[in-house]
Structure 1
Amino acid sequence: MKKVSIIVPVYNAAAYLEVCITSILRQTYKNLEIILVNDGSTDESGNICDQYKYTDPRITVIHQENAGPSAARNTGIEQASGTYLQFVDADDRIKKTTTQQFIHFMETFDADLVICGYESGNQLLSPSIAGFFTKEVFLHHIGLLYKQIILPSPCNKMYRLEKVKHHEIRFPFSHSYGEDLLFNLSYIENSASFYVLPSSLYVYEQNPNSLTNSYIDNMFEKQKKLYNDVRMFLEKNDSWTHDNITHLETIFANGVIHSITNLFHQGSPLSTKEQKNQLKIICNHSDVITKYPYFTSSVQAKLIGTFIRKKSYRQAFIFFKIKEFIRTRLRRIFVLLQQVDKR
């Protein structure tokens, strides 16, 4: 049995960590190397990691000063010694057969990368394509898998560790947004074969304290940089084609909406005047104006696109203020509206 290295970056995840580690220990595939990287936690996470280390010899614990999830994963990569590589976030879990199924398809199809769907809350997020793909064909599905939120995360995937180390593929420190996606694109660029599973084998738990639920400084600038990096990747690999273009431009449009929503987040330090100014700057940006035709993926996107086209900044401001109020004060209604908006 070939060894699988599973890296878990840990930061202040005491409330979730035991469930995460238990889900890994219960894998039907037993030849595991479990690397828990405690990234300077200030809660009981470090102690929990140490306690588990003494219960199972497959567990290695590394304690380091807080440097962020990218640094923690990179530390784990340096330590890893398996044939295959997985990542699991400390506030998530994997199903009992996740590693077993990954291994099966890696070895049956001699794949360099296996990808699956995942569960998030009450949602099952599955890729709309499945099966074996050569690199040439797979590259033309990058935009689709990105739009379906299947591509960015490292957690719903299995990699070949030797390939990661040989090509010195690491999570970049130069990005504080989208570093997971850039890691995957770098790995894809150095791979030849891929297998996509329709099964949802990874479970994202709803952690209100995670970075994805927090205010992000300069989010619009980070969105633009990530868009440009993905576009450059596709152009470099002769894959800036119709479908990829449509999907990436739609993703950018949705990113604009997320960036404006972020201005009004309850954790935002911006004053009302600053929120109005930033909203106007984003809506007036040339990249946003030229991508108006791609604000079509939902009722919300069409509405925001209309605000941008008509320069209706006051109406946009009121819309996002109400949206944040409903999100924070009327959560059930907000979730219902999200479901309706996606239909």
Structure 2
Amino acid sequence: MFIITPFHNIKPYFKTFKRNIASILELDSVEMILVNDHSDDTSNQLMTSEFNKKGNVSIISCESEGVSAARNFGLNYLYENVKNYTNSWVTFCDFDDYIEKGLIVGFRENPLINKYDYVLFGYSTDRLQLDHKPFFSVKPFEGVDLGALAIEGPFREKNRTYNLNSPWGRLIKLDFLRKNKIFFDEKLTFREDLIFNLTIFAHSPKAGIILRSYYYYYLNPNSVVHSYIKNVIQQNRLAYINIKKFTDKMQDEVKKNLRLEFLKNAFIQSIFVFVLPKGRHNKYFLSKKRFKNLRMDAIFEALWRTDIDKSFKNKMNKLLFYLANKRLFLPIYVMIEFHNFILRKKTDDKN
């Protein structure tokens, strides 16, 4: 099993990263590909000094910038250096997250996993909810629309949480990616993970699921999903072009619902990374201008002609959408700024 982990300026997190991967590096059935994404601090030196002599760690430096380019660089490195693609598997792990050892041990002891192309495993933001023991079987994941699940977001199965629109939380057969020429879209810095998975699903992988949670997802306040993304409107448009391609041959009603589901989620997420991002002091009038630009973007026109707000499971998101539909920015500003204040306080308390 290969684990691709891009890193960029991770010096403050290096000790935690080193501790998190220590147990899995004890296993000879795993190899980590650490991809330096143009770090301008001492991250690369730290990685090289600590792991260069490890037989199951490769440290490489990406030529292009961005996490998508770094992941693709890791994939191409494997294509050039792995001799047996057939039963080789790859997964991705962010530098501030980690994978429980039980996944690698279970993978090593269950050769029947090789009848699949794409295998899901659960994740949690709570370390105490992770499984430590190896899994004993992989269940077929059939009779579901993988693309629809990815667009809709995380889902629950047997008391575990899974996410089909992330790069992590799944094992993918390397030969499947290689022969179908599947890579991350390097033009995207937002929603690229969803498009990557939809591209996989378009090639009809044989999917399985492990009913255990092995991936710890750290809610990093400095990550992309919590930071300001200046070009989010352009990113949404690019992603929507891919969504339309993916749904083009579906029945009209299914096509319409999936596209609306994507737009709904994209709009809400854009509020948190463009209009009122968590890691900034957001001035009211500037935020209001960004909100107006977002709401008036052509790709979201269809949202305001539907009653899609009834489909929201999250009460806060439902209220946000209702207020946006009514063009009521002041209560949105107050609600999210208070929400962001509470989250920042929790983060500061932990630190």
1:95 equivalent to 2:110? Answer no
Q: Is the 1:105–1:111 Cα contact (8 Å) retained in structure 2?
A: no
**In the alignment, does 2:86 pair up with 1:86?**
no
Provide structure 2 residue ranges, at least 5 long, that are not aligned to the other structure.
Answer: 132-137, 155-162
1:281-308 per-position Cα deviation (integer Å, ceiling 9, x unaligned): 4445522312442454133333334334
Paired positions, count: 320
Identity of aligned residues (%): 24
Partner of 1:131 in structure 2?
139
Q: Could you report, residue by residue, the CA deviation over 1:187-225 in whole angstroms, capped at 9, with x for unpaired residues?
A: 222343101223211111232221111011232443344
1:218 and 1:240, CA in 2 relative to 1: closer, same or farther beyond 3 A? farther
Correspondence 1:42-191 to 2 at 5 A: 42-64=40-62, 67-80=65-78, 81=82, 83-102=88-107, 107-108=112-113, 110-121=115-126, 131-133=139-141, 137-138=143-144, 140-149=145-154, 150-191=163-204
- Residues 319 and 121 of structure 1, relative CA distance in 2, 3 Å threshold: farther
Alpha-carbon deviation of 1:263?
0.9
Q: What is the aligned partner in structure 2 of residue 326 from structure 1?
A: 338
TM-score (norm 1): 0.79
* Structure-1 residue corresponding to 2:36: 38
Aligned to 2:308: 293
Query: Which residue of 1 is the match for residue 158 of structure 2?
Result: none
| Corresponding residue SS for 2:115 | coil
Provide the secondary structure at the position in 1 that maps to 2:248.
helix
Q: 1:197-276 counterparts in 2 under 5 A?
A: 197-236=210-249, 238=250, 242=254, 246=257, 249-261=260-272, 262-265=274-277, 272-276=284-288
Distance in 2 of aligned mates of 1:212 and 1:186: 21
Q: CA RMSD in A?
A: 3.3
When normalised by structure 2's length, the TM-score is 0.78
Following superposition, the deviation at residue 268 of structure 1 comes to 6.2
Paired with 2:229 and 2:58, the residues of 1 have a C-alpha distance of 32
Structure 1 match to 2:159: none
CA contact (8 A) 1:35 1:59 kept: yes
1:16 to partner: Cα distance: 3.1
SS of 1:35 mapped into structure 2: strand
Equivalent position SS for 2:268: helix
Shifted more, 225-234 versus 101-110: the winner is: 101-110
Over 3 Å counting, the alpha-carbon distance change for 1:186 and 1:254 in structure 2 is: closer
Q: Larger deviation: 318-327 or 170-179?
A: 318-327
Q: What are structure 1's unaligned runs of at least 5 residues?
A: 336-343
